[in-house]
Structure 1
Amino acid sequence: MDILVIGGGGREHAIVWALAKSPKAGTIYCAPGNAGIGKLAECVPIAVSEFDKLAAFAVEKQVGLIVVGPDDPLAEGIVDAFDATGIPVFGPRKNAAEIEGSKTFMKDLLHKYGIPTAAYAKFDNYEEALAYLRQQGAPIVVKADGLAAGKGVTVARTIEEAEQALSDIMQSKVFGDAGSRVVIEEFLEGQEMSILAFVDGETVKPMSAAQDHKPAYDGDQGPNTGGMGTYSPLPHIQPSIIEEAIETIIKPTAKAMVAEGRPFCGVLFAGLMITPDGRPKTIEFNARFGDPEAQVVLPRLKTDLLDVFLAAVNGTLADLELEWSDEAAVCVILASGGYPASYPKGIAITGLDNEQDGTIVFHAGTSRDTDGTWRTNGGRVLGVVGLGADIAAARAKAYERAEAIAFEGKFNRTDIALKALQ
């Protein structure tokens, strides 16, 4: 079966890498893809926003499955746009993708169905939001309602920081229309955890839990990013807590979406906080694979990923049992100097072609010259994954491989997965 994967980052490289291992996979196309993905798939120069061109290409190539990676096209209705092709699509429709596309919708849904989450208020008026902020005090969380490339959330430790975030979102419009409304949330303290699940209506098949590192610098300092590294499994978090999160948050949310007439098909990704009393609460939901969570979860999936996708789109996910490797995976993101603010592109990368056992390098933002020179082409450039018997072994491999890759301005966190070892 030929497959079209839509997207061009590290998440899509991980998806293509996993699909390429399937004996059932024929030609894999990736639109637009990137230089690293091009080693496994045929990259197609069509943007993720060009729904008509993507649909025409899928029909022309007679692909048997379309897989949508990024959040923006899902929120804009790409799955609905493919209806006329008759080709099965792995990903939620627009009305279901709203669980990520609107934080207001997500919070209201959880509140309506009694699903654990932080207390919140929503505003489309700046002065009212400012007055509420001052009344609540800090620490507090300020979120742009819409999609902002993972950067629309400020965890404000001071009231001045919260006011600045609110002004940036609602007055300066740094996130455009995504900031026309805001959600202001109670600050939750504790351990963060990500649980991704394959979902088909009310059927939920959880993946192995992971933990992301959002802030740019060691010790969770600096601005939020799209993610600077992640690891799986989570040996320091009790299995009972993970099970509670699945039973009290993820499964009830899938049922709630069906009850609302918005059945979800795809990957439902819960960002969770384990509060000091040991109870998980929902921070956010995403409507697709996390990036970089996909880079550590998919290498641990022993079940054929194509079988999982087909089961979800055919409504037979309930009949499929997922099998996971006992190996641990740790991903370290190598980023361009200046990220998550402005950064240069086109800087030569060395050390990429030196393969190393027990590691995988997923490309997030790279290009390649005709002479074979790899170059930076994004803020998050590479995701270096180490696999090992436990977190410590996987972590050592990831950092050893990461240190062998060089480009001017390169930086990465040096404390990925340390929480699991303390």
Structure 2
Amino acid sequence: MRNKTVLISGASIAGPATAFWLNRYGFTTTVVERAPELGKGGQAVDFRGAQVEVLRRMGLLEEVRRNQTAMGEQRILDADGRHVFSLPSSFAAGEVEIQRGDLSRILYEATKDRTEYVFGDRITSLTETGEGVRVTFAHGAPRTFDLVVGADGLHSGVRTLAFGPEEKFRKDMGYSFAGFTAPNHLKLDHVGLMYNLPGRGVMVASHRNGAEATVGLVFATDMREVDRRDIKKFLAELYRGIGWEVPKLIEAMWRADDLFFSPLCQMHLEHYTRGRIALVGDAGWGAGPGGSGTGMAMAAAYVLAGELAEAGGDHRVAFPRYEREVRPGAEAGLKQAKNTGPFLAPKTAKGIWLRNQMHRLLASKMMVAQLDKMALKAANVLAPSDYVVATNETASSRDMEAPRPKAAS
């Protein structure tokens, strides 16, 4: 097998998932992560349909279920904080939901014995040669790898170095998201609440740890108005004067040490590979919330490793097939996530009313099956194939344009 050494940038989810499958096929993997340690907590991520099958094939499904949020319904509130209607758990939490930090830890534990992890460092340059990729780091000594995988998220450093600046691919959605942990003063028990005023949304939920609640703020914004030097002050001003429980939540935000803030945006790339470098997950097609990003990233990691193994490590054969396999699923996620901002924070009172009327109907007993079917459709676009590891001769002789038959979803 050729191209056996693979450097992966990013130790959150897509990176360790890629390492997991490459390890299984006999590749030697190194993961570099700029953070000093694994992330903890974070927002919940969910899996459904074919994405659950990927977890099963990894042998991690039961461990994920042991750590799942077991999240229940999402209750929609009116401007006075009164319960209007509920969305079923399957709408937001899929078949199984887990906090991002818990999933990251599970993947790390499953790969640490066979993968070299380098924390507190990052890639600073990538130079392709005839034999591999010469990589320099912010702190470590330069090294050469056969292949490099960018699994370092929406603002990928690998993508910038290999494909160009983020502005070439980025499409802003006109909304931003902020999240943090707060005391569960509402005493929520595996339940989520959604509260809206025009252009501003507040989501609060509590699941496994009953003492804590996760808070999400979604709001329409012009990024030119955002003071990045003091995000907490900006958010406090934006949500000032709002009723319900918002003042207590903002008060808790001032004490939170895990505040996350990001504009909602998407990445649209013509190709996910270039030379000896490939992108997986948000680095290649960041869809944003509602785009089934985590499940899609883990399915794509499975495909990338499987294609490389079948091609005997020949990236010239494997990478085009990888792109053809994952693009339909990536595009489905991008399309699915386009309306996340308008759904979570409609800009007008009429928009909130229309959103509520439409989803009240979809959440009815008569329509809930159709709602689940809609959610599954995008998740099942990339169904896991059965990979058969081929010899170099077999892989090289295979028609590179021939589509692979899919497993039934």
TM-score calculated relative to the size of structure 1? 0.30
The structure with the largest helix share of the pair is: 2
Of the two, which has the highest radius of gyration? 2
Higher relative contact order (CA 8 A, sep 6+): 2
